[in-house]
Structure 1
Amino acid sequence: MQHDPNDGSPERTMAGTAGLSRRQLLGAAGALSLIGGPARAQHAMHDHAGAAHSADMSPTMGMVPEAAVPAMDQPLVEPEVRRSVNGVLSTTLRCAYAYRQIGGVRLYVRSYEGGSPGPTLRMKPGETLRIKLINDLPPNRDGLPADISHPHQFNNTNFHFHGAHASPSGIADNVMRSMAPGHSYNIEIALPADHTSGTYWYHPHHHGSADIQMSSGMVGALIVEGDFAGVPEITTARERLLVLTQVVHDANGMIENFETLFPETATRFLAINGQRRPVIEMRPGEVQRWRILNAAYQDDMLLDLEKHDLHAIAYDGIQLGAVQKLKQLLIAPGQRADILVKAGGPGTYALNAAPYDQGHPSPVGPLARIVVSGAPMEMKLPGALPAAPLASIKDTEITNRRKVVLSATAPEADAAGHWQEFGFFIDGKKFDPGRIDQRVKLGAVEEWTIVNTHEHDDHVFHIHTNPFQVVSVNGKALAVPEWRDSVIVERKGGQVVFRSRFLDFTGVYMLHCHMMNHEEMGMMQTVEVYKA
């Protein structure tokens, strides 16, 4: 084999020592012992009495110079789009480690297709999603822990179509599947013809590893097309996808231990579409539709757009029956919000995550800069929206009521505690995949009360397969009940009451807190829907 004259191969190292005295050889050996230490130690070695110069294996010491990548303020880049053809969206998703630059930091983390977020998938109601998922992550180096709710085996994965009304069984939206490294798996999810159109997403859901993988950026948007087809003020607006994430990493730019995620102050900065503070361009008077997905692994975000209102038209993939004008938007992990933004006069405006108390401070800071310039556009916001697609659930429909209690335990000095000192529970129990916690008859229409007795944290309740209609929060009835698949339940006795129709699909699926640290550590239950 031909050797690069600049590399650190053994042949060159020995040749370089042929004419040295014993004293010089000892000096060179001492210098070599410093290799692998901090960069300042390497520089010191190179300057040591000239002897180290003879033993210098490589001018770069294995460091490859890279072209500078701007840390922020670059135009917003949206993920690759993959669309259905003839009623089928057929694609592959490869899970593997990848290098990526973000916010001036070089990371080496798990990814879909080498990037974050993964490709945006677009399909229509009544169509089928077929994925060949290739798990090219390395083998796991640990076994199963005695406590299944201790994070483990970070390279197992699976696939969840978040918010889909689809089968939770077989090779469909089945989060009980385990997809091991070194293998490929088929996924096939068929949407009903009457499925709601809107903004959905996908992510791993393997208990033990989902948190690590999602915090690495293994997330992606999934758009079910066709909403607001008869509203020209929406269909003519430019559509932008904004996938919000929290950027976390260790000193090596990796996420290999749960300690990297669990401290409440773990977030380094926030990102949109894998970019730190990107630029979104608009023209004066222009209306854009922003599909906002909070794909963060843990925290709520309170969005504030400087000198602009936010006009909500859909939540969690379900159309609203009327536009909601907001000064700020609170969006929890797992939630989506479709927003219309009408640009003001020329200038630069900040989109920020504002301070919010979720029991501990939510991450704050810049998300994007909105640059308004160019020729004005005379675009209007819609005066009215079509009726919401799902009928409101009446009192007379209710067939059963039940209560679910979220709770947690913590060490006396909460902030100083190690993650293993905390416990997260539903109805007093940690998750057990072999236990059925809730059994619901197919066709039932139920009213659930979700209570959070945890003194320290809010929680984000999410249930698979069927959306629910929130009717009251903390004892106060909503003037207009709201369809969701994820909802914040406030700490210290906060309560959310919702109603849901358990339609079309039998099988076992999950309910859990979508603050993924909490889910991973036990705050999850199984739901079995059965046919009588």
Structure 2
Amino acid sequence: MDYTLRMTYADLRLDNKAVNLRTYNGMIPAPTLQVDAGELLKIRIVNDLPLNPVSQEPVEHLRYMNSANLHTHGLHVTPGLVRPNVYGDYVVDTHTTAVHPGQSRQHEYAIGKDHPPGTSWYHPHLHGSTAIQVGSGMAGAILIKGALDQVPEIAAARDRVFMFQAPISDDKGRLESFSQVADPKSEPPFLINGQRRPTLVLRPGQVERWRLINAGIANYLNIEFQDHALHLVALDSCPRSHAQVFQSNDAQADGLVLCPGNRADVLIKAGAPGRYELRTNSYDMGNEQPLDADVLAYIVVEGSPINMALPQKLPPVPEALKHISDEELAQKGGLRRSIVLRSVFNSDGSPLTSAPALDLLNLPNGDLSQLSQWQYQTDSTFLADTALTMGAASDKASTQPLMPQKLAPIQSDSAIRQTVDLGSVEEWTIYNMNGVRHPFHIHINPIEIIKVNGEAVEPFWCDTIGLPRNGKPEAPTSVTFRTRFTDFRGEYVMHCHILAHEDMGMMQIVSVE
């Protein structure tokens, strides 16, 4: 499978507004790529964007909004070079090594025969440029086909991709400043495949597979299908052995919650004739006020009934997604690590160069110039004098989940590096010291969630997880997961998937050796 993705501006009309935004191949969303497990996926990216403009951004790494690279979010593939000048899922670029305007890069991804089937996606991932480029609409789906697709009832169902995007533009239809993406309140309502509130038509009794992708840059989705159930069969390209059912009209529970970066494969069966709403319900992600409810699409059920069935049985989960037992953890190293996500600020409004924030930042050798490498300074009330960091209790693995006393800047050359042995199995606890639900994402290897706020949950696999809100430095919230570091050596990253947070430094390097 050999594709070319050309990065270019395109004149489009989105939600009755003329825009001129960065795209892949002149499309929002970008093309959907489909590949079978066991095949080789080749992607060549060509940067036809204009030269980087002279920028007034105060931080250098935010000035390269037309330079890029490529991340295949959800693929278990090599993060390094495949061979000279041919890249895997390599994103550890700086603004000097990126694919600049007029340049190209060849990628090859060997999809293992045992690769879990499901829905992944791709988007740019150059540190400092990610929010602007994904916020423009540069994102597309990757479908990995496998055993799940061969279930007779799923094979018979219509397969639809729902790219939930919220392209941002000013009154001229452009996105040319980081300040436009820095505040999550700037994210407009979601579109589906570039359309505002599209209408889908189904027959009574018809079964469809919907691949739901939250490709927004900040906001969560809380999805409900009016008077119908959503049957979740895979989350983040991690198939389930049994469908998890999300019923409509359940006032006691959230719907299917997707944080930025999450994907969900769901089966639906159309009910009685009528007009129904696919909604995102109000949701509190820890900002000053909850996200508003919204209608995402209309579903019209009409015509002659069709007798289609939902599957009674799903395939066993792939070997890579088998539960990680205490015994396996102990046999494969059993190390535990603690990671902290936190915005650091002075509540009285004083700058970060003043205590107590300065004391928390633990700048190398007290060098204040390091601030410009990982903090974005702006007049925005959301980010004014705020540092977004991902810290650790120590730079070494620990056998106990210690809490850090100080946080270190982790962007660029200052990034904390978690060094891991290939073939090891580890348990990490991710702490959230802020009110907002930072969505944590790790590349390459999926993770098995086992605890939330220290309490055991029914284990499930994913690669992106919303941390519980209402964390405080003295009482952080947390998620604990286990993961296998298999198959691939190299460097990749983990970060907050509120993409402006990532661009400002809420990211670390994972080095598998």
Q: Normalising by the residue count of structure 1, what TM-score does the alignment of the two structures yield?
A: 0.80
User: 2: CA distance between counterparts of 1:495 and 1:185?
Assistant: 38
Question: Aligned-pair distance for 1:317?
Answer: 0.5
- 2:33 aligns with 121
- 1:422 aligns with 386
**1:448-463 matches, cutoff 5 A:** 448-454=428-434, 456-463=435-442
- 2:73 aligns with 162
- 1:176 aligns with 92
Question: Aligned-pair distance for 1:432?
Answer: 2.8
Structure 1, unaligned runs of 5 or more: 1-88
Choose from 442, 453, 464 the match for 1:474: 453
CA contact (8 A) 2:212 2:263 kept: yes
Question: Aligned-pair distance for 1:144?
Answer: 11
Choose from 235, 239, 252 the match for 2:172: 252
CA contact (8 A) 2:70 2:124 kept: yes
User: RCO greater where, 1 or 2, for CA within 8 Å and sep 6 or more?
Assistant: 2
Question: Aligned-pair distance for 1:140?
Answer: 1.0
User: 2: CA distance between counterparts of 1:180 and 1:363?
Assistant: 38
Residue identity in the other structure for 1:222? I
RMSD: 1.8
CA contact (8 A) 1:144 1:153 kept: no
User: 1: CA distance between counterparts of 2:39 and 2:466?
Assistant: 31
Q: Does 1:243 align with 2:172?
A: no
**1:89-104 matches, cutoff 5 A:** 89-104=1-16
Asked which structure has the greater CA Rg, the reply is: 1
Question: Aligned-pair distance for 1:145?
Answer: 7.2
User: 2: CA distance between counterparts of 1:433 and 1:165?
Assistant: 24
- 1:486 aligns with 464
- 1:50 aligns with none
Q: Does 1:387 align with 2:307?
A: no
CA contact (8 A) 1:393 1:499 kept: yes
- 1:20 aligns with none
- 2:352 aligns with none
Question: Aligned-pair distance for 1:184?
Answer: 1.7
User: 2: CA distance between counterparts of 1:410 and 1:344?
Assistant: 51
- 1:16 aligns with none
Structure 2, unaligned runs of 5 or more: 82-86, 248-254, 350-378, 392-406
- 2:327 aligns with 396
* Matched positions, count: 439
Change in CA separation of 1:133 and 1:144 when aligned onto 2, cut-off 3 Å: farther
Instruction: Summarize deviations over 1:374-410 as a string: whole Å, max 9, x none.
Output: 0001111122222221211010122211111111024
CA contact (8 A) 2:411 2:506 kept: no
- 1:342 aligns with 269
2:502 is paired with a residue of what secondary structure? Answer: helix
1:393 is paired with a residue of what secondary structure? Answer: coil
CA contact (8 A) 2:187 2:218 kept: no
- 1:373 aligns with 302
User: 1: CA distance between counterparts of 2:317 and 2:389?
Assistant: 35
User: 1: CA distance between counterparts of 2:232 and 2:63?
Assistant: 39
Change in CA separation of 1:219 and 1:230 when aligned onto 2, cut-off 3 Å: closer
1:228 is paired with a residue of what secondary structure? Answer: helix
1:195 is paired with a residue of what secondary structure? Answer: coil
- 2:340 aligns with 405
- 2:22 aligns with 110
- 1:464 aligns with 443
User: 1: CA distance between counterparts of 2:173 and 2:345?
Assistant: 29
2:298 is paired with a residue of what secondary structure? Answer: strand
Choose from 200, 216, 238 the match for 1:296: 216
Question: Aligned-pair distance for 1:520?
Answer: 0.9
User: 1: CA distance between counterparts of 2:59 and 2:236?
Assistant: 33
Question: Aligned-pair distance for 1:116?
Answer: 0.8
Change in CA separation of 1:226 and 1:181 when aligned onto 2, cut-off 3 Å: same
- 2:395 aligns with none
Change in CA separation of 1:106 and 1:229 when aligned onto 2, cut-off 3 Å: closer
1:215 is paired with a residue of what secondary structure? Answer: helix
Question: Aligned-pair distance for 1:227?
Answer: 3.2
1:167 is paired with a residue of what secondary structure? Answer: coil
Residue identity in the other structure for 1:370? I
Choose from 501, 504, 508 the match for 1:521: 504
1:233 is paired with a residue of what secondary structure? Answer: helix
User: 1: CA distance between counterparts of 2:64 and 2:497?
Assistant: 20
- 1:67 aligns with none
User: 2: CA distance between counterparts of 1:362 and 1:157?
Assistant: 30
Question: Aligned-pair distance for 1:264?
Answer: 2.9
